[in-house]
Amino acid sequence: SSRSHPQPPLHHPNHYCGHGCPDPPIYLSPLRGPEFWCSITYFEMDVQVGEIFKVPSSCPVVIVDGYVDPSGGDRFCLGQLSNVHRTDASERAR
């Protein structure tokens, strides 16, 4: 005598269910954006002055100004950059 075995339910994740199964779920890991969204480099007469200022992704807006207080991390202050070779033309432009 032959015995028939019941088929496992189609939705059970540990069983093969043939062509009638929906596509398995796709699990995506959360993507992280870049740590910095832009970099600012200041030049006077083709000479870089100061370090490259990297704007963190947490600051969607950055202010570039001539002041000296960069508090908050969202400001690039040209006033704090010194250049011993600064020309009068560069000083007027600043």
Residue 47 counted as domain residue: yes
18: left (phi over 0), alpha (psi -120 to 50) or beta: left
How does residue 71 score in pLDDT terms, banded at 50, 70 and 90? confident
Residue 63 counted as domain residue: yes
Residue 78 counted as domain residue: yes
| Number of domain units in the chain | 1
In the prediction, which pLDDT does 48 show? 94
In the prediction, which pLDDT does 77 show? 87
Residue 51 counted as domain residue: yes
In the prediction, which pLDDT does 68 show? 82
Query: Are the CB atoms for 5 and 15 separated by under 8 Å?
Result: no
Of 92, 88, 85, nearest in space to 46 by CA: 85
Residue 31 counted as domain residue: no
Q: 8-17, 26-35, 71-80, 85-94 — which is least confidently predicted?
A: 8-17
Residue 21 counted as domain residue: no
Element (H or E) spanning 54, and its range? strand 53-56
Residue 25 counted as domain residue: no
Q: Which residue has the tokens 């002055």?
A: 49
pTM confidence score: 0.57
Residue 81 counted as domain residue: yes
For 64, the domain range is: 36-93
